[in-house]
Each structure stands twice: as C-alpha cells, then as structure tokens.
C-alpha cells in the first residue's frame, strides 16, 4: 500500500480532535542504521476535549481514560493507514517521545524546563506516534523557538517556584502547594506556568480538560 501523505494523516487525525505535532525522518536524524521511514507525532488539539468527553472511556469510570482512548483511536488510525504505532505510556520501558519531539524541530526546552511546542505552547499532550515505512515529504519546521521573542511569563507564574530549566523540578513543592486552598486554581484550571505561556492559548485547552490531567498528575 502506498504511504499516506501528511495532509491525509492530518485530516484523519482531526476527525478525532488530534493534530500532527511534529514529524521527521529517523534515518536523517539518527543515522542510516534506522533505515527509511517517517515518524509522525500525534497530540491533543483544540477539538480534543469535545471528542474525548463524548467517548466511552471518559464516561465508564475506569482508570486511565485518556490513555485507553488514545490506544483505541490511534490504534484504529494506524490500522486504517496500514502503519505501525506506539504510545507515550504503557512502560517501562517507555518510547522516547521527548527526544522524538525535539528531533521533530517543533518542540524546544522552555525557560521552565518543560517542552514548549510551536502551536500549543506548554499544553503538550502527546497521544501516540505513527511509524511509516517510507520517507514522505514534510514541511520545514519553524526556524526558531517561540521563546526567543517572548518575555517568558512562565518563569514567574509558579507560586512556589517549582519549575526552572536550571534546576530539577521541585515535585514536593508543587504537590505541597496543590494540597492547599491557594492551589485550587492550578488543580481546576491547569498548571499556572503552562497557562502563562502565550502560545498555550493555541491548544484550546478547557478547564475541564486541564482538571482531568491535574487529577491524574496529583490524585486527591
């Protein structure tokens, strides 16, 4: 079967609220020992919550609804396109999604250490990857990170200074703050640093979606 063009993958992904968050040719990035092929990263886009919140996984009350939805939906897309797929969960071992994101040229390390994406900012939610056998044409990625022209409000948004590119993530301080009344906004609307990123607005993230992710990150 002929390999699908990127625009077809984008169109099929969009039907499920997913977007192509990056793509690259592993042989060109990692070396000839990786053979030919194209790796396409899929993630939650602005329409994701509308689709997901109407799904069986969201409504059945079982654990890990987003991961189960992703496995079903991305798996079905892979079968439809006759390609392989992988996921950022289900380990250990885990697939190197962070390195793949950086290699795609559409993600960078932000001033607070987390990855930042060219269209969804700090609101990154990878849901899977498609592995095509052939090298399909890809558009050139952005030449610079959005942070190069940003005043970096993310660096001062965290109330307890838990995030920095120069120091390890202070998980204890973050979780301790989330347990207080002052941490309610982060629990119900999403991480303050992620929300402060101007590019994050492109994710179309609703409070309900952010709250779901925060409950998974910090169960109460």
Output the pLDDT for position 4.
81
Domain annotation covers residue 200 = yes
Domain annotation covers residue 31 = yes
- Structural domain that includes position 64: 6-139+147-217
pTM (whole model) above 0.85 = yes
SS (H, E, C) 110-126: CCCCCEEECCCECCCCE
Separation between Cα atoms, residue 41 and residue 18, nearest integer Å: 10
Q: How many domains does the chain fold into?
A: 1
Output the pLDDT for position 45.
98
Output the pLDDT for position 133.
94
Domain annotation covers residue 80 = yes
Query: Would you write out the chain's pLDDT as a tens digit for each of its 220 residues?
Result: 567 899 999 999 999 999 999 999 999 999 988 778 999 999 999 999 999 999 999 999 999 999 999 999 999 999 999 999 999 999 999 999 999 999 999 999 999 999 999 999 999 999 999 999 999 999 999 999 999 999 999 999 999 999 999 999 999 999 999 999 999 999 999 999 999 999 999 999 999 999 999 999 999 7
Domain annotation covers residue 1 = no
Q: For residue 18, how many C-alpha atoms fall within 13 Å in the half-sphere facing its CB?
A: 27
Q: Check: CB of residue 214 under 8 Å from CB of residue 191.
A: yes
Q: Is 148 helix (H, G, I), strand (E, B) or coil?
A: helix
Domain annotation covers residue 34 = yes
Output the pLDDT for position 2.
64
Domain annotation covers residue 63 = yes
């Amino acid at each position: 079967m002929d390999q699908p063009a990127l625009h077809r993958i984008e169109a099929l992904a969009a039907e499920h609220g997913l977007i192509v968050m990056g793509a690259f040719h592993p042989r060109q990035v990692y070396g000839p020992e990786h053979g030919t092929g194209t790796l396409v990263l899929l993630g939650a886009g602005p329409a994701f919550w509308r689709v997901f919140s109407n799904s069986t996984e969201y409504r059945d009350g079982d654990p890990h609804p987003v991961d189960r939805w992703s496995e079903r939906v991305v798996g079905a897309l892979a079968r439809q396109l006759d390609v392989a797929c992988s996921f950022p969960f289900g380990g250990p071992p885990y697939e190197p999604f962070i390195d793949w994101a950086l290699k795609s040229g559409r993600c960078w390390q932000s001033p607070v250490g987390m990855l930042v994406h060219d269209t969804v900012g700090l609101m990154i939610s990878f849901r899977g990857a498609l592995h095509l056998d052939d090298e399909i044409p890809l558009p050139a990625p952005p030449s610079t990170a959005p942070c190069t022209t940003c005043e970096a409000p993310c660096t001062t948004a965290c109330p307890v200074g838990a995030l920095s590119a120069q120091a390890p993530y202070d998980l204890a301080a973050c979780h301790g703050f989330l347990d207080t009344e002052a941490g309610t906004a982060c629990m119900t609307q999403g991480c303050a640093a992620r929300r402060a990123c101007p590019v994050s607005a492109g994710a179309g993230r609703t409070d309900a979606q952010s709250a779901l992710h925060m409950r998974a990150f910090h169960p109460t």
